[in-house]
A and B are shown apart, each in its own frame.
Chain A
Amino acid sequence: MKTLFYGGLLFSGYALFQGLGFIAKAYPVTSSGVSLVIFLSFTILLIFGFNNLCGYYRNDGYIDRTQTIISFAPVFALGSLIVVAIISGIYAAS
């Protein structure tokens, strides 16, 4: 059930950013607000990356806190998904 929950969460995120992309393109009045929300979202994601919130763990502790590429890997994946969602939203609105 955990898989379904996380799957649902990811899909909801995707739908949210696609919706934001659509709104920004279809209703230009909202573009500044939407840009702000997207900017804030990316900032939060960046903070997550730096805090190594999604980093890999081993039984005896972290592999290496300073290995930024590894700690940022999930953030990159999530960021890509958001970018893809925004592009899809803009495409749907055009």
Chain B
Amino acid sequence: MDLQNAWSVASKDFEIFKRRKGVLYATIAFPLGIALGFPGVLVAIESVAGPGTISASVAPFLNAFSFWYVIGAASLPTGIASYSIVGEKVQKSLEPLLATPMTDSEILLGKSIASFVPPIAAIWASSVVFMVLMDLITHAGLGYLYYPNWSFGVILLVLAPLASILSIELTVILSARANDVRSVQQFTGVMFFPFLIIYVMTEIGVIQLTTINLLIMSGIFLVIDLLLFYLSTKTFKREEILTRWK
């Protein structure tokens, strides 16, 4: 596999992504909303109830709230990936691309990189803002810096990328059966719910987001990713795209 070819495909998709303002803003807005939203709510409450009233007891919720970054990582790439694959299918630009000397794997990797990098970059960037703000707010009440910690490290560096890859591979598979970008996004939107259920279970204490539990969850995601990777490479083949894709 020639990584330069994959990068050329990704570069083109980045270029288009920059011009699709709706997708661009959505990719930035969601992580930024998480980074500013929760700290903002805490500040608002403490401004009424008095400084330090909530921040001292907020630690368990903070851990569960971190899971929103996994939800973001799973949902944000679908916007880019669906445009990148179904969008090209609708624009009829896949055939000339497939006529180039690049292999199916290089094209698929390029499109995956293009769908993976912007959301993960946005999530990582916003997580820095989130950590700094939460530490500023909670340090006085907790007496120590809550962030960074191992659990959040696993969420950001392992679980979020694996969730992102999962959603990209699912989009590739669904793209073979979809005729427009919106229908793919609606299908992949369903993916949001299992993650939301996990989040609710963490908030009500059914699942503890300990480092060990997060690593187990990562292992499960990895297995699903490998399975979906196999299916997506079977789906993303020239012959399949030109003769069987709708």
Task: Indicate whether A and B interact.
Answer: no
